[in-house]
Structure 1
Amino acid sequence: MKMPPWLVSLILLVPLMVQAQEVGLHRISPRTPQDLQAVLQFKGQHLPFVSAHRGGPAKGFPENCIATFLHTLQHTFSMLEIDPRRSKDGAVVLLHDPTLERTTTGTGRVTDFSLVELRQLRLKDTEGNATPHQMPTLDEVIEWARGKTVLVLDQKDVSAIERAEIVARHKAEAYVMLIVSSFKDAAAVHQLNPNIVMEVMIPTVAKAREFDQLGIPWRNVIAFVGHTPPEDVALYDFIHGKGACCMAGTSRHLDLKVLRGEVAEISELEQGYRSFLSLGADIFETDIPVLLGPMLHSDVTALKQPFFELK
């Protein structure tokens, strides 16, 4: 189908718009794998900043989209959690769902379409409106993110080993980490590449002790303690005692109150977020990074210079 001239013009302008937006970003810029490990190491104080779930989508800004990543980094220091999936011809693109309907102008399964076909689609924003933005490939996003942020690659249909190989091919261990779905996967990734940092689900003290027996250095790990942060202080103390940070999800409870309009200002929920910090959470995986992140800026910049900079 032939696109209208106005849409063609807008699509041609997007690369120039993106280039112009790459100033004034809240950058996290570890240069080596050891730098990334240092950023995420627990040193006796909490490290309160955010990981933007699916990149931080909002009105006008689709999930898993470079324009959205820029929008997030214009407002806050943030890691970017993103979702790799395979196309029909083996390319790795970014899309959360296995099907196209919710977040693109297409229909059907991602794996039924080639990269060229997927590129013809437009991404939808959080209100279901089509935008001029195309689906990016993982390769493109990894190269774009260098010197800007830390990417967190969820699993979806690209295995842990495959994702580890992609990171190594880009020499991106300094700023790309993996979510792994099991301790078995964590051990396999570490054996393949001991420089890769992983986000591992560790929701109980028993699981923390089990992980400790694997022999994977805790400097290679962020412990994801749960989508509803557990109230067992012993869990946070155990993980912190190993020198690792704890990530807690807020997208399924506190964030929803903001997104549903149940509170006028995020400040009304600040005590709730701070209570998780008091328990021992260090990093929030959130659907509202633009709102939540700035609440935590002063703590981050004081703790982690020179890896955090506004530039």
Structure 2
Amino acid sequence: MLKKFMFPALIVFVLTGIYSFKQTVALHTFKTHNAAELKDFFHYTPDRIPFMSSHRGGPRKGFPENCIATFENTLSHNPSMLEIDPHYTKDGKIVLMHDPTLDRTSNGHGKIADYTLEELRKLRLKDTEGNLTDYQIPTLDEALQWAKGKTILIIDAKDVPIEVRAQKIIDNKATANAIVISYSDEDTKKCYALSKDIIMEVMMGKEENVTAMDKSGVPWSNVIGFVSHQLPENKAIFDEVHKRGAMCILGSSRNIDHQYTTGKINAAQLNQGYLNLIDHGADVIEADLGIEGGAALMPLQQGKSSKAKYFRN
């Protein structure tokens, strides 16, 4: 009788173990529980911990852009914010996808705006190699709910106004785990008028951007500055933003990431490139290669810091 039930029991045990492993994979997460903690997390201090923002969530082979499974894969390697892209559907829902069209990153064709959410649910996403996966297109609401207790989403604009993106954060009670990108002084003021809690990634590449922010009436505690996609010749802009208590983001996708993926630099040069961006004044690096960048920055995250309480490794 024992032999009769041993094999099925073993199968159940093994399957249960596999399921448990998938559910308990350790993620490197940010511990921000409310809007005040998120503001403190982004407040610049000289002992800040440099970290990554993974462009489009950190896609790679097997993991598509703007996909929750991809987000989890990125966080399984290192702590990272996740930059995401919203688009309206035909029936007024908001889904995540970088392009306004479906062809490059899914098995669909045409404009996202020509499909309802129900129709889009039937599609599957492609990875960076163009291979079809089993993953579906997520909604912004789903991403905001998933991010709680895990990471911080950076919601780009695309065709969704800043007040709509901000309202989504409010509706999902996600002010501790999401920020919005603002491309104009008008949008920055509009978002702040809607909510004093929501933090914005504001374009901060020139000194006049700093001056405009000073005059905007929006406190610097609601801002993280995006400096450039290229390394500025003058690091004064970093110093000016830091003096005002805000952190700076610098993009690597158009420089060292591209150089690495096209074979112009090797892995060691890529790692040093990330460290150079931090040495130049960046606090956060927005990268296409969020996992590689996170590995390069990991040694910088080991020292004592007032920000350490917000990192869970």
Q: What TM-score, normalized to structure 1? A: 0.91
The answer (yes or no) to whether the contact 1:187–1:216 under 8 Å persists in 2 is: yes
Instruction: Please report how far the alpha carbon of residue 296 of structure 1 lies from its aligned counterpart in structure 2 after TM superposition.
Output: 1.3
The corresponding residue for 1:104 is 106
Moved more, 267-276 or 143-152: 267-276
- Name the amino acid aligned to 1:107: H
SS in 2 for 1:172: coil
The corresponding residue for 2:296 is 295
Matches within 5 A, 1:163-202: 163-202=165-204
The corresponding residue for 1:277 is 278
Seen in structure 2, the aligned counterparts of structure 1 residues 34 and 226 have a Cα distance that, compared at 3 Å, is same
- Name the amino acid aligned to 2:258: L
Identity of aligned residues (%): 44
Instruction: Please report how far the alpha carbon of residue 179 of structure 1 lies from its aligned counterpart in structure 2 after TM superposition.
Output: 0.5
Matches within 5 A, 1:1-311: 20-21=22-23, 23-265=25-267, 267-300=268-301, 302-303=304-305, 304-310=307-313
Q: Residues of 2 paired with 1:250 and 1:21: CA distance?
A: 32
Seen in structure 2, the aligned counterparts of structure 1 residues 35 and 298 have a Cα distance that, compared at 3 Å, is farther
SS in 1 for 2:76: helix
Instruction: Please report how far the alpha carbon of residue 18 of structure 1 lies from its aligned counterpart in structure 2 after TM superposition.
Output: 10
Seen in structure 2, the aligned counterparts of structure 1 residues 292 and 20 have a Cα distance that, compared at 3 Å, is same
Q: Residues of 1 paired with 2:158 and 2:19: CA distance?
A: 30
Instruction: Please report how far the alpha carbon of residue 82 of structure 1 lies from its aligned counterpart in structure 2 after TM superposition.
Output: 0.3
SS in 1 for 2:81: strand
Q: What TM-score, normalized to structure 2? A: 0.90
The answer (yes or no) to whether the contact 2:229–2:251 under 8 Å persists in 1 is: yes
Seen in structure 2, the aligned counterparts of structure 1 residues 72 and 21 have a Cα distance that, compared at 3 Å, is farther
The answer (yes or no) to whether the contact 1:77–1:297 under 8 Å persists in 2 is: no
Q: Which has the larger radius of gyration?
A: 2
SS in 2 for 1:54: helix
Q: Residues of 2 paired with 1:201 and 1:33: CA distance?
A: 21
Please, which runs of 5 or more residues in structure 1 have no aligned partner?
1-12
CA RMSD of aligned residues (A): 1.8
Moved more, 298-307 or 73-82: 298-307
The answer (yes or no) to whether the contact 1:29–1:175 under 8 Å persists in 2 is: no
> How many residue pairs are counted as aligned between the two chains?
295
After superposition, the C-alpha distances for 1:47-105 in whole angstroms (9 at most, x for unaligned) are 31100000000001000001100110000110000001111011111000000000000
- Name the amino acid aligned to 2:226: F
Q: Residues of 2 paired with 1:130 and 1:18: CA distance?
A: 26
Instruction: Please report how far the alpha carbon of residue 300 of structure 1 lies from its aligned counterpart in structure 2 after TM superposition.
Output: 3.1
Seen in structure 2, the aligned counterparts of structure 1 residues 21 and 289 have a Cα distance that, compared at 3 Å, is farther
